[in-house]
Amino acid sequence: MKRIIVFIAVLYFSFNALAQFQGSDNRNYPLPGYGNLSGGLGMNWIDGKLFYSLHINPEISFNNFGVGLDLHFDIDQQGNLRKENYNEFSDYLSIIRYLRYGLKNDPVYLKAGALDYYTLGHGTIVEYYNNSPSYDSRKIGAVADIDFGKFGFESMYSNLFQKGIIGIRGYLRPFQFTPQAEIPIIGGMEVGASYVNDFNDKAGIINATYSHPDKKYIPVVNNGSLSAFGVDIVFPLVNTQMLGVKLYADYNKFINFGSGIATGLLFDINALGTVRGFTKLERRFNNDHYIPSYFNNLYEIERFRADTAKGTFSSKISLLENAVNQSDGYFGQLGLSIVNIFYIIGSYERLDTKPKSGVLHLQTEVNPEGAPFLLRAGFDKINIGSESAIFKLDDNSYLFTEIGYKPTSYLVISIVYNWTFLPVRDADENIIDYSAQKRVEPRISLIYPIQF
């Protein structure tokens, strides 16, 4: 009975393994000296229209370096390449899925490419940020994290070739410079300071009018760029090879707007290198004109959305401006990872008394080594009202699923379903909105492992 209780406890504290390496802009990269030559053919129905698809996705790792490419072509029944595949300069650059040195939480981690669910610090300003929620408007971002032991920083930029989001958190472990460095809890205490700024032209639009002749939105009230700063403190309560427990507190402030405080516990488990886990429980205290985790998984969609037919719009900063009588809230993460078998990660946040304040993130991959099947899935949803509609697909949802059969180790027959977003552009080809887009693709993929 005692063993069962211990096992259940381990599972509980293990839930959320990939918050460190998958949920924080990391993924399952090939091991050093290995790689994959992969590609696939399929038929892709995009909003009901048939395209023939070709994917080429090689990856290699050598020492601490890694590179991954992502070429995809959708060809219609007349033999023409789908316009949206490569109609922006960034589409060509995004062929480079990633260039990296190291891994998230290594002493040195550098990356250029897609930012998949990036988190800065404890995530109270930037949480699960995705710079490319639309297949038809992919971006190249950058990450630079360096930990010198006694101090360090983590940083990101969302779009290297346009105005975007820049974020940086510097941190210091002050007692590491003193004789008290080895004292439990105090010796590892960490203090940090963060700064985030969105320089995008639409980041500060609070009010605007629509010009039908010009097919453009004209800002009436524009805050310009939107910036926030924060300070935080962390106490490592437990720090062993198998279990880590941290207590933290964050204070954040949006310039010209409100502020908030968050405090929470982080549990990290590594059971004999096979089971890895991470759990986060957080309470948030929010003042007026403040939204926690403002730059979230669908921020690129929320930043500015226009309805040209009605001449109306919505923007994330207008929600910030109108966030009065604000409510406190909570945030939780759970997950589990077992080496070479599967991982699952989930998070949910909600304000206590505000409707449509729920935000959900789910990821999983079940791909046991040697098994004849695989399952990959990811789901994001914002502005959740009733939990009964939490999995309803709408303009606030993003979904990816792949279910496959592996007749051999190098062949996968699968079906891929995506609920994603199509950019809507104005007369100058600037993106002013995103509409929901459905993709269904039966696919045959070849995956050839290489070693060098």
Encode the chain (452 residues) as per-residue pLDDT tens digits: 333 333 233 333 333 333 333 344 545 788 888 998 899 999 999 988 899 999 999 999 988 999 999 998 999 999 999 988 887 777 788 888 999 999 888 999 999 999 989 999 999 999 999 998 888 888 899 999 999 999 999 999 999 988 999 999 999 999 999 999 999 999 999 999 999 999 999 999 999 887 777 667 788 889 889 999 999 999 999 998 889 999 999 999 999 999 999 999 999 988 877 888 989 999 999 999 999 999 999 999 999 988 777 778 889 999 999 999 999 999 999 988 887 788 899 999 999 999 889 999 999 999 888 889 999 999 999 999 887 888 889 889 999 999 999 999 889 999 999 999 888 877 777 787 788 899 999 999 998 888 88
Q: Letter for the amino acid at 313?
A: F
**Interior angle at CA 136, CA 130 and CA 137, nearest 5:** 50
What is the SS3 assignment for 83?
helix
Q: CA 290 to CA 258: how far, in whole Å?
A: 5
pLDDT of residue 8: 32
pLDDT of residue 430: 77
Q: Tell me if 337 sits within 8 A of 366, measured CB to CB.
A: no
Q: Tell me if 335 sits within 8 A of 13, measured CB to CB.
A: no
pLDDT of residue 27: 58
Domains of the chain, residue spans: 2-349
Residues 6+ apart with CB under 8 A from 336: 11, 14, 15, 16, 17, 275, 277, 342, 343, 344
pLDDT of residue 391: 87
Residues 6+ apart with CB under 8 A from 202: 303, 304, 315
Query: CB-based burial of residue 92 (10 Å sphere; 0-12 exposed, 13-18 middle, 19+ buried)?
Result: exposed
Please tell me what DSSP assigns to residue 80: P
Q: Report residue 351 as tokens.
A: 């304000």
Neighbours of 389 (CB within 10 A): 11
